[in-house]
Amino acid sequence: MNIDSATITALDTAIEGKLERLYSWLKAHAGVAVGFSGGVDSTLLAAACLRAIPDRTLLVHLTTPLATVQEAASVEALRAAGELASLPIATIQLDPLADPLVAQNGCDRCYWCKRTGFTRIIETARERGYATVVDGSNADDAVATDRPGMRALGELGVRSPLMETGWHKDEERRVLRAWGHDLWNLPAGACLATRIPCGEVLTPEKLATVRACEAYLHELGARQVRAQLAAGTMRIAAAPDDLARLAAGGSAQPDAPLRDDVRQTLEHIARCPVSPLLVRYQRGSMNGATES
């Protein structure tokens, strides 16, 4: 994800028209409430709102047990400092597991979770006088398959201006870096439920275990890792750049042995067996647990 300053300048020129289309989209609405997760997509959308309609923007953030450590930290950092701290933000406490349709973790889990979460976001937006609710889905999401969460957004009338104006993730990262946002290279994230295979019931204990294990791996310097928990056993999936950091002997090959000290610490945290072999991270690889 290294992008030099010359590349940024060239790309800024190339996507100037796309930025103008996004600004025009936003300005055409009396007010916009952004479902704000703290990831790359919603941060770019919020930053664009700040430039186009700063006095007509509300950020709405859901605090849930499904949030990753990285995105939770990102939201706190943005609230504490930086340009987005000037935008009003409403925080909603939500436990999606209170809905049995989410907790039972069927293959349509994301549909019910997204529907529950954005129903609350819409209610909050309406209470504060915001008629238009938007999310950070982009043009890459438009071509992805098996995205039940997108269906829920459509049914609720949530708009996706980044998708509607043709934004791709790599373009978002380049603009965020040019605008001075440190999270421009934040790895793609997904809710913690994607670490548990569809059909295996979600519980607060399982999610807390996954979160704690991933927090430990991030402390070791790993950036894109998944602590996947299935049938009482954990395996660690890591992006290519992280394999050598976690593998015995520094091997960057898939199916390399996990460092003994790392595996022992993970087993202590998780209180369950941890596979001795690393696997390469692949989006949506948990037996149908699609990262939506």
Write down the pLDDT at residue 171.
94
Kindly give the residue spans of alpha helices, DSSP state H, lying in 128-191.
Answer: 139-143, 148-156, 161-164, 169-178
Residue after which a domain boundary falls, among 150, 185, 220: 185
Structure tokens at 113: 């979770």
Residues 147 and 197 placed together within one structural domain of the fold: no
What is the structure's pLDDT at 217?
95
Residue 117 contacts residue 80 (beta carbons within 8 Å): no
Q: By residue range, what is the domain housing residue 223? A: 192-280
Task: Answer yes or no: are the C-beta atoms of 94 and 64 closer than 8 Å.
Answer: yes
Consecutive sets of 10 residues in the chain, 292 residues long: mean pLDDT of each?
Answer: 47 80 96 94 96 96 88 76 88 94 94 96 97 94 77 95 95 92 84 95 96 94 94 94 86 83 96 95 56 42
Q: Which of 132, 151, 185 is the last residue of a domain?
A: 185
The reply to whether 62 falls in a domain is: yes
In a domain, 289, yes or no: no
> Could you tell me if residue 214 is inside a domain?
yes
Q: Please give the pLDDT value at position 145.
A: 62
Q: Residue 281 has what pLDDT?
A: 87
- 196 lies in the same domain as 125: no
Give the residue from 145, 169, 185 where a domain finishes: 185
Specify whether 53 is located in the same domain as 139.
Answer: yes
Residue 142's pLDDT is 78
Count of structural domains within the chain: 2
Q: Which two tokens stand for residue 117?
A: 């979460």
One domain for residues 33 and 153: yes
> How large is the C-alpha radius of gyration of the chain?
19
Same domain, 17 and 134: yes
Backbone angles phi, psi at 197, to 5 degrees: -65, 145
Instruction: Let me know if residue 290 belongs to a domain.
Output: no
